[in-house]
């Protein structure tokens, strides 16, 4: 479920962007007040009262006023802002695909997540169900056939302008988290954050990732918007840098 911090801020957990590590930090520092909705609830599901969830999944058909009432009960605040402070983390799109391939191949044997087009069994990655392959090339080829530009679309649902206040990077997770907690005025120990070991990482030491050049170029083209929006290196920017 989305994490409600003491003070009312909400952490949106995008799959495979370091969210399990962030959650561990927040737990150990006793900064969690409660949990709301689906574990991977996106910006719309927080702000639009979980309209597409089910009671069993802790999403419920709650209107926004009731969600705010729940937050008020957690935080014991008499008044709330028009929306809570929300933050999340992203990563380089190509790295995201690599991590998901390793995670599914090594840990879950291509388990399905949620049911596509079923609002009562929603999961942000359900559109990737059935696209598994023994090879990374096969997986990516399947993705391009069904959902080209998937990561750009995924990240966009969590980083809505004027709704989500801070978008950090998995590549700089610790320092970005310190930045968020400092801005929120929440007590934390930077040294603990900087020394926390990885959590739920898809290392896949025995699973080699190989990008075929044409496939990589096509994925970079389709995910170019995300790379630009979140400040990740793109083939164009690298070409300029290397001149």
According to the 3-state scheme, what is the secondary structure of 110-159?
CCCCCCCCCHHHCCCCHHHCCCCCCCHHHHHHHHHHHCCCHHHHHHHHHC
The domain 2-241 having CATH identifier 3.40.50: the answer here is: yes
Q: Return the H-helix or E-strand segment holding 53.
A: none
Domain ranges of the chain: 2-241
Tens-digit pLDDT profile for residues 39-56: 999 988 887 643 333 333
Tens-digit pLDDT profile for residues 55-73: 333 333 333 455 556 555 5
Distance of alpha carbon 2 from alpha carbon 22, whole angstroms: 12
User: Is residue 222 predicted with pLDDT exceeding 90?
Assistant: yes
Full-model pTM: 0.84
- pLDDT score of 45: 83
């Amino acid at each position: 479920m989305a994490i409600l911090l003491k003070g009312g801020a909400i952490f949106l957990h995008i799959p495979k962007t370091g969210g399990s590590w962030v959650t561990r930090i927040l737990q150990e520092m006793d900064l969690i007040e409660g949990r709301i909705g689906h574990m991977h609830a996106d910006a719309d599901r927080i702000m639009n009262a979980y309209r597409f969830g089910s009671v069993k999944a802790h999403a419920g058909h709650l209107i926004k006023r009731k969600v705010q009432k729940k937050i008020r009960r957690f935080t014991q605040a008499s008044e709330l802002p028009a929306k809570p402070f929300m933050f999340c983390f992203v990563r380089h799109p190509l790295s995201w695909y690599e991590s998901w391939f390793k995670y599914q191949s090594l840990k879950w044997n291509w388990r399905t997540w949620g049911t596509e087009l079923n609002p009562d069994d929603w999961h942000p990655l359900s559109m990737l169900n059935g696209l598994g392959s023994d090879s990374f090339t096969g997986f990516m080829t399947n993705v391009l056939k069904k959902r080209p530009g998937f990561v750009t679309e995924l990240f966009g649902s969590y980083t809505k302008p004027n709704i989500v206040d801070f978008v950090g990077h998995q590549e700089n997770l610790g320092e970005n988290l310190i930045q968020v907690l400092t801005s929120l005025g929440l007590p934390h120990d930077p040294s603990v954050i900087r020394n926390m070991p990885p959590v739920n990482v898809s290392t896949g030491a025995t699973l080699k990732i190989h990008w075929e050049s044409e496939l990589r170029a096509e994925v970079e083209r389709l995910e170019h918007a995300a790379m630009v929006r979140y400040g990740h290196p793109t083939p164009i920017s690298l070409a300029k840098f290397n001149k």
